[in-house]
Amino acid sequence: MKKPLIAANWKSNKKKNEAKNWLEEFSKKEFGESEIIIFPSFTLLDFVSNFIKEKSLPLKIGAQDISKFSGGPYTGEVNVGQIKDFCEFVLIGHSERRSNFQEDLETIRIKTENAISASLRPIICISNFDEARSLEFAKDAIFAYEPPESISTNPNSKPAEISDVSNFAQKFSVTFENELIYGGSVNAQNVSDYSKIDGISGFLVGGESLDPNSFFEIIKNAV
Ligand code: PGA
């Protein structure tokens, strides 16, 4: 795999001191060629972005979500203009948002348009081919194939079979030119097998990204 994209989805985890410890530990590592993106909570974007700038670390930042509204009277929402100073990427349509916050494809489409109009690069989570088709306009988006049953926090979760991911990637490449990454129970042991799949150019890592050492092992083995 050439210069893989490896993203750490911290989800709703880490306070400022925990993020600081993570970054201090992680910044001691030799990252090699990978493109590494950290997705912290909104509350940490400013801190993580400053830390990375001050230490000149070759890390990129993304937000885990954005509002479908562009700003105004939407209490609790964070809009794309508010994160643009800190981020290059934004995660859209994660299955946890779909199941816990009833996000539908129309919402995901609007959020994707908002991200693109602000020159943020969306990473859109999909679990089937039809979802990708409905977002076909997003030519510059990265798609993350994440079967919800493979996400480590789901009861009885298990990593997707190599053959399933490979079939999906093959079918995807016939129709789309977008970059495709895989997410779901990725760890330092299974990542080398996933890395061999044609059409998969990186990984979205949840649970195993919370510890800087296990995340680094994944980066090392994703070659
Ligand atoms: P996981 O999460 O690596 O813990 O399965 C992946 C994700 O939810 O993006």
Residue 118 amino acid letter: A
Identify which of 146, 75, 87, 79 has the alpha carbon closest to the alpha carbon of residue 110: 79
> How high is the pLDDT of residue 31?
80
**What pLDDT, on a 0 to 100 scale, did the predictor assign at position 1?**
66
Backbone angles phi, psi at 181, to 5 degrees: -120, 165
The residue ranges of the chain whose pLDDT is under 70 are 1
Q: How far apart, in whole angstroms, are the C-alpha atoms of residue 140 and residue 20?
A: 32
At residue 98, φ and ψ (nearest 5 deg) are -70, -45
pLDDT of residue 119: 96
Q: Which ligand 1 atom sits closest to the C-alpha of 144? A: 9
Q: Is 185 in the pocket of ligand 1 (CB under 6 A)?
A: yes
Check: CB of residue 8 under 8 Å from CB of residue 44.
no
- How many A from CA of 204 to the centre of ligand 1? 7
pLDDT value, residue 194: 97
Verdict on whether the full-model pTM lies above 0.85:
yes
Q: Is 151 close to ligand 1, i.e. is its CB under 6 Å away? A: yes
pLDDT of 49: 98
How many angstroms does the Cα of residue 99 sit away from the middle of ligand 1? 14
- Atom 9 in ligand 1: residue holding the nearest Cα: 206
Closest among 153, 118, 144 to 37, alpha carbons compared = 144
